[in-house]
Amino acid sequence: MKKLISTIVMAGFLMAIFPLAAMASAQEVVSLGADLTPKQEREILDFFGVNENDVKIIEVTNQEMRQYLSGLVPEKQLGTTAYSSAHIRLVPRGNGISVKTYNIAWVTKEMYANVMVTAGIEDADVVITAPFQVSGASALTGITKAFEQASGKKLDEDAKKTANEELVVTKALGEKIGQDQAADFMRDVKEEVVKKKIKNPDDIIEVIKRIADEHDIELTEAQIQQIKDLMQKISRLDLNLDKINKQLENINKSVDDIKKAVRDNQGILQKISESLNSFFTWVKEKIAELVG
């Protein structure tokens, strides 16, 4: 009888352990572009510092990317292949989002982080890469799919579609005014729309124009309308400003540090410029005295 009880207790213990082990292994997921060669897959896994026994590996196809990007980007940019890959590792609650990118040409880590919170991703370290340089617009599909696998949480479809649109709009704006400036601007507009729960199209346009002035950005009417349409969709999502700020805390801190360094350097350069101007003025005056 004692032996039977011991067996039952051990079986119960193992049944409790196995789900926990499965849950632990699912905390780290790699999404691989479906059209990578076996050699490229190995190279990317090596780059991520994992092997197929360490993490759950999923594939992302061009068709899946098209589900979210069709109509947002030109057909030729959609192509027929998928190469972008991502490594997602969940971190303790409250740690926020961390992003690193390699071989991504036009989408910055700040852009990715901004749209990840729109999609509902939180508390995750994310690395995005490809075997060669790509624009990066299609990578979000793999990121959201990997996060869903890692967290066991199904993200809202409208939120995922809106996040993809936000990435495309931010990327397009970045090509005109600069990537970092576009990311900062779009983040500020989104945060005000979410904070004040602004839904009226005219009010959203007012916010866009005012923040554009604050950032010293000139927008065309077409850009204003495009951003307004996006912000209307964002206003319908269940987003929380405190949560957005917490998730982007590390990203925003690094951006603020860069801005401070730029401002400090600009101050130094200004002083150097003023000193040089004073010197040249003095030289001119001395030459004038000699000539006179």
Q: What is the pLDDT of residues 145-179, one digit of tens each?
A: 999 999 999 999 999 999 999 999 999 999 999 99
Confidence of residue 251 (pLDDT cuts 50, 70, 90): confident
- How much is the average pLDDT of 74-90? 91
Write down the H helix ranges in 218-248: 221-235, 241-247
- How much is the average pLDDT of 80-97? 95
SS3 88: strand
Tokens of 106: 């036009």
28 half-sphere exposure, CB direction, 13 A CA radius: 13
Please state the domain extents for the chain: 2-247, 249-292
Beta bridge partners of 125: 89, 98
Closest by CA to 165, choosing from 70, 237, 31, is: 70
Residue pLDDT, tens place only, 170-228: 999 999 999 999 999 999 999 999 999 999 999 999 999 999 999 999 999 999 999 99
Q: Is the pLDDT of residue 11 over 80?
A: no
> Which residues in 39-76 are b (16+ Cβ under 10 Å) and which e?
ebbeebbeebebeeeebbbbbbebebbbebbeebbeee
Q: Is the pLDDT of residue 259 over 90?
A: no
Q: What is the pLDDT of residue 75?
A: 85
Q: Is the pLDDT of residue 239 over 50?
A: yes
Q: In what order do the strands lie in the sheet with 85-90?
A: 56-60, 28-33, 85-90, 124-129, 97-101
Tokens of 35: 């059209």
* Report field, pTM of the whole predicted structure over 0.85: no
